[in-house]
Chain A
């Protein structure tokens, strides 16, 4: 698989000369499988530029949201394939204890925050709530688990063959683990990151 970081900032976009090296966009990571399957991890503002490298013939894109804080979904409405009726976009993300993923996303994709409602998108977006055990997406096996962070938040473990990338962008792993990091059973995210080839982490 190939991994490319399109957004690495938290909280809000930070364009400017001082952020030229890693860019000023918020969370977004592209994971491309050897057979061409495209996973996108989070929909921060980095997702707008990612859209420019989506191949013209791509018919399905899976977008995996760790949580619904603004810096992780702000680019969603500006992701061009979402407006292309030829492309099937599946969004995976956490519900809350009382509100579905659709209901939570609709809070952003609706006036006055956004001019178009989720239900009025050019195509029907397929929504899936996680955690939901292990998911197969093309050549990938994906597992989501809840992690420590305010509001429902998951991390993702993405595996193709023997290769694993783990994505834990917003995360407080030392909470609850008095002897962090020596107590993996009490450490949030430890199961997801165990043995990973690449760990993308921001604590």
Chain B
């Protein structure tokens, strides 16, 4: 596998030291890493899931809005950050891989590296009181 961009490597390093759950995706939307705090909310470790294509991770957690309507992949903040290349924020429900339903709040932003290279997107999320 080709070496990751250095900004992505450093983003992973940062996320390893944060208590906040973090998602990292590449420019194609493929999930390339999530940190340990994210594992607690998603219900499975990154070691177990490995990398996932966008079509898989965007539906795997069965996101629904606060009224219970299913959210399409393109409505998710992380996908909006990727496609629109602008920050996005939202609150919605997911089903963790441990079967637990959780209300989360997500802030996502595009990753623009040295010389303006588009490298993907990063999302921070929080479990919020339901």
Contact = CB atoms under 8 A, between A and B. Distances in A.
Contact of B10 (A95, A152, A176, A184): A176
Contacts of A186: 3-4, 9, 12
A190 B13 contact: no
A15 to B, nearest CB: 34
B12 A176 contact: yes
- Chain B interface main SS type: helix
Interface residues of B, number: 14
A188 B9 contact: yes
A148 B9 contact: yes
Q: How big is chain A's contact interface, by range?
A: 20 to 34
A31 interface: no
Nearest to A96: B114
Contacts of A178: 16
A177 interface: yes
Interface string A165-196: 00000000001111000001111101100000
Contacts, number: 46
B6 interface: yes
Given A148-B9, A148-B10, A190 B3 contact: yes
A40 B6 CA distance: 24
Interface string B1-29: 11111110110110010000000000000
A176 B3 contact: no
Interface in A61-104: 94-95, 97
A42 interface: no
Contacts of A147: 6
